[in-house]
Amino acid sequence: MLTLQLINQDPEDVIRRLAVKQFDGREPIMRIVELDKQRRALQKQRDDNAAVLNKMAAQIGALMKQGNREEAENVKAQVAGLKTANKEIDDNLSAAQDEITNILLSVPNVPYSGVPEGRTAEDNVVEKTGGKMPDLGEDALPHWELAKKYNLIDFDLGVKITGAGFPVYVGKGARLQRALIQFFLDEAGKAGYLEIEPPLVVNEASGLGTGQLPDKEGQMYHCQVDNFYLIPTAEVPVTNMYRDVIIPQDELPKKNCAYSACFRREAGSYGKDVRGLNRLHQFDKVEIVRIEKPEDSYAALEEMKDHVQGLLDKLELPWHILRLCGGDMSFTSAITFDFEVWSGAQQRWLEVSSVSNFETYQANRLKCRYRGDDKKTHLCHTLNGSALALPRIVAALLENNQTPEGIRIPAALQRYTGFDIID
C-alpha cells in the first residue's frame, strides 16, 4: 500500500498519478490526509498526557512522603481523569488508524513516470520485438488439434476429472512440461536465482501482503474451513518469505525462483481465445522474485526483462515486449512489461510473462525492510516476473514448429525432452 509519507508529501501529485491508472483518488487520498492530521494531533495529545502523568506520579510520591495525603488524593483524582481521557484518545486513535488502513488497502499503487497513459490493452506500447516468425501454410493446425493428433494433452479427460481449464498432459506432452520447467529453473539458477519450493496454499496475511487480497479474492480458490487460498502464482509465498523481516543491507539483493502450479478461478471469455491452453484454471509456471534497495530496483527490472527475453530466444519463439498503459496495469504494480509470443496457427499474440516493479507498495504491506548505513530501517522494493508460464509457451511451440514429419523440438530443449521431434 502507499506510504503516508508519499501521500502527505504531495497529495495532488498522488491523485494525478492514480488517474493514469483510471482511478479517481481524490476522495480517498484527501480523506487519508485529513485522518492522518487527526491521528497525529491525537498522538501528540496522548504523548503530552503521558508526560503529565509521569510528573503527577512523582508529585504524588513527594506529597505522600511529606504526609500531605489530602493533596496527594487530589492529584490522584486528576490522574484518574487523565487516564479516562487517554482511554478515549486511544479509542479515537485506533479508529483513525483502522480507517486509514482500510482506505489504503483500497487504493492501488501509483504508476511510475514511464507508464504511458491509456485505458485498455489497445493502448499498450510495443517496446521491442524479436525472433523469427514461423512460415506455416494455410492448413496449419491449432495446438488443441495438434495435442489430440499426437496424444499430448487430453482436455476432455480433464473435464471429466475436474472441469474445464484443468487439462491432463499425456506421454510426450507430460515430458515436454517437465522439460520446460527444468529448463526454466536451470536458466534461473545460472542467472543467480536461489530455487525455492513453496507451499501451494497461503494464509490470508500472505494474500494481503502481496496485494491479492482484498483486490482479487474473486479470482482465488478459497479453502473456507482453514481460510487458506490456493496460490495464483509463486510470487505470493516467495515474496511473503520476507514479511516482517529486516534484511541486512549486505544481503541485498535477494533473488529467488520457484516452480509451482498456479490456480485461478477467472473464467474469461468464450470462443477460440480460451480454447485449449489459452486460458486455464490450473497451470505451471516458474517465477523469479527480487527484493532490492530502491536505488537498484530499476536496473534489476532491466535484468529481469533481459532474462525473460533470453529464454524466448533460446526457445526460438517470435516475441514482443509491451509496456503496459496505466489502465491495463495490475492494482499493485508501479510498472509492468508483458512478453507475448506469436501463435502461428491462431495468428495472434499470446501473453507468457509479466515483469513488474512494485516499488515499496508490497513492501509496505509486508513490512519488508532493510537496515541502511544510517542504521535506520527503510522499505525495500519488490519485483517479480514469469520466467516463464508454460501453457501458452507450449501452445506456441506446438503450433510454430509443426512440420509434415511431426513437431520439431527447439535445440535448447532437446537434452531435457530426450527427443528432437514429436511424431
**Tens digit of each residue's pLDDT (9 = 90 or more) over 211-257:** 999 877 789 999 999 999 999 999 999 999 999 999 999 999 999 99
Residues 294/370, Cβ–Cβ less than 8 Å = no
To the nearest whole number, what is the mean pLDDT of the chain?
A: 95
| Residue 324 clears pLDDT 80, i.e. is over it | yes
Instruction: Say what the pLDDT of residue 218 is.
Output: 83
pLDDT digit string, tens, across residues 36-53? 999 999 999 999 988 888
In angstroms, the CA 129 to CA 320 distance is: 4
| Residue 64 clears pLDDT 80, i.e. is over it | no
Q: What is the mean pLDDT of residues 338-364?
A: 98
Instruction: Say what the pLDDT of residue 345 is.
Output: 97
pLDDT digit string, tens, across residues 4-37? 999 999 999 999 999 999 999 999 999 999 999 9
In angstroms, the CA 69 to CA 63 distance is: 7
Strand ranges in 143-300 using DSSP code E only, listed in sequence order = 153-154, 168-169, 194-196, 201-203, 222-223, 228-230, 246-248, 254-263, 282-292
Q: What are the backbone angles phi and psi of residue 343, rounded to the nearest 5°?
A: -100, 105
β-pairing, 335-343 vs 348-357, is antiparallel
CATH code assigned to 121-422 = 3.30.930.10
Q: What is the mean pLDDT of residues 358-378?
A: 97
In angstroms, the CA 207 to CA 213 distance is: 5
Q: Give the contacts of 86 (CB within 8 A, at least 6 positions apart).
A: 46, 49, 50
| Number of neighbours of residue 128 by Cβ within 10 angstroms | 13
**In the numeric block, which cell numbers belong to residue 151?**
496424444
CATH code assigned to 4-106 = 1.10.287.40
Rg (CA), the chain: 27
Sequence length of the chain is 423
The sign of the dihedral angle between the CA atoms of 374, 380, 381, 386 is: positive
| Residue 267 clears pLDDT 80, i.e. is over it | no
What residues are paired with 282 via a beta bridge? 263
Tell me the pTM.
0.93
Half-sphere exposure of 127 (CA within 13 A, CB side): 18
CB-based burial, 314-336: b 16+ in 10 Å, e otherwise: ebbbbbbbbbbbbbbbbbbbbbb
Least confident of 60-64, 135-139, 275-279, 406-410: 60-64
In angstroms, the CA 22 to CA 25 distance is: 9
| Residue 418 clears pLDDT 50, i.e. is over it | yes
**In the numeric block, which cell numbers belong to residue 214?**
482484498
Going from N- to C-terminal start, the domains of the chain cover: 4-106, 121-422
Tell me the C-alpha to C-alpha distance, in Å, between residue 281 and each of 216, 257, 284. 15, 22, 10
In angstroms, the CA 280 to CA 343 distance is: 17
Question: Cα 145–394–320 angle (5° rounding)?
Answer: 115
Q: CA 373: distance to chain centroid?
A: 28
In angstroms, the CA 275 to CA 270 distance is: 8
Q: What is the mean pLDDT of residues 384-411?
A: 98
Least confident of 181-190, 208-217, 309-318: 208-217
Residue type, 343: S
- Name the DSSP letter for residue 408: E
β-pairing, 421-422 vs 406-408, is antiparallel
| Helix, strand, coil abundance in the chain, percent, nearest 5 | 50, 20, 30
- Name the DSSP letter for residue 220: S
Instruction: Say what the pLDDT of residue 271 is.
Output: 55
| Number of neighbours of residue 139 by Cβ within 10 angstroms | 7
| Residue 132 clears pLDDT 60, i.e. is over it | yes
| Residue 379 clears pLDDT 60, i.e. is over it | yes
- Name the DSSP letter for residue 171: T
Tell me the C-alpha to C-alpha distance, in Å, between residue 346 and each of 253, 284, 288, 354, 409. 40, 22, 29, 21, 19
In angstroms, the CA 11 to CA 21 distance is: 16
The sign of the dihedral angle between the CA atoms of 139, 144, 149, 150 is: positive
